Structure 1
Amino acid sequence: MVILVAVDRSDRAKHVVEEAAELAQAFEEPLQIIHIMTRREFLDIETTSVKKDNSPVSLDKIRAEAARHAENAASDITCSYETIGRVGDVSAEVTRYAEEQGVRYIVVGGRKRSPAGKAVFGSKTQSILLEADRPVVAIMGE
């Protein structure tokens, strides 16, 4: 089985990956780091690229760019890992990939705690928590 950590491009992503790496090591499971590029981000890149040389950007190049964001989030860990880049709706792609790969845990980042001490999640994290058919670990911000 696999520990899958979903990352965005925020500064918190490195912390989430570090915690996921500890989980993967504790369970002696492989670590996969996934970044989903939204369709809007894809269209922005495609529009910019087409303006430069009048040719569309391949989906493989966009996936590679998304995987590069996952790689950036992993720069501080020392264990082995694999990066994955996809394009689409973040929560749907993360849960779909988790099902396809039979992952053990999905690790995501949370935001913070409210003044009342309740966990505060972003909309994508909340959707993954609600849609996933396997355990989801939310790493709250430092």
Structure 2
Amino acid sequence: MPIVAAVDRDGPNDQVLEEAQNLASGFNDEVHVVHVLNQKEFREIEQTSVEETGTTVSMDEIRSFAKEVADEAAKGVVDTYHPVGLVGDAADELVDYVDDNDARYIVVGSRKRSPVGKALFGSVAQSVLLSAPCPVVAVIQDGE
């Protein structure tokens, strides 16, 4: 059963990845590092491609780009991992991936918030917490 670490292109991701590695070590599981390219990021890549080359980008290339983001985030932080790139709504794609792969845990990050905002997580983290078919570990990330 994999431990899924959800990473963001803008980071920070180290605490999420370290927690996923700790869980994977404890259960002798594999870490799947997942980045979901959202609609806004997809549009930016598509627009850049059209402007620079006059052609659109295939979905395989988009998924490959998302996988590279996951791979770059994990390098030097996690010893052994499987990078995964997905495209779509981050919460929905993560929950579907976790369900399809029978994950043991999913680890998500949440940024520090104001006193009022502490009652709420980020929209992706909150949606995953409410929808995931497995336990969710929410890591409150320092800084940024």
Decide: shared fold, TM above 0.5. yes
Letter of the structure 1 residue corresponding to residue 6 of structure 2: A
Q: State the one-letter code of the partner of 1:110.
A: S
Q: Is the CA contact 1:18–1:74 (under 8 Å) kept in the aligned structure 2?
A: no
Q: Which runs of 5+ in 1 are unaligned?
A: none
Calculate percent identity across the aligned residue pairs: 44
- Distance in 2 (alpha carbons) for counterparts of 1:87 and 1:25: 28
Whether 1:45 aligns to 2:84 is no
Aligned to 1:64: 64
Cα-to-partner distance string for 1:118-139 (whole Å, 9 max, x where unaligned): 5652111001101112110111
**1:10–1:119: structure 2 CA closer, same or farther, 3 Å change rule?**
farther
The answer for unaligned runs of 5 or more in structure 2 is: none
Contact 1:112 1:119 in 2 (8 A): no
How many pairs were matched up?
Answer: 142
Partner of 1:104: 104
Aligned residue number for residue 76 of structure 1: 76
**Would you identify which runs of 4 or more consecutive aligned residues in structure 1 move more than 3 Å?**
113-116
CA 1:78–1:43: 2 relative to 1, 3 Å: closer
For the residue of structure 2 that corresponds to 1:108, the secondary structure is strand
Shift of 1:67: 0.9
* 1:30 matches 2:30: yes
Segment of structure 1 superposing worse, 73-82 or 20-29: 73-82
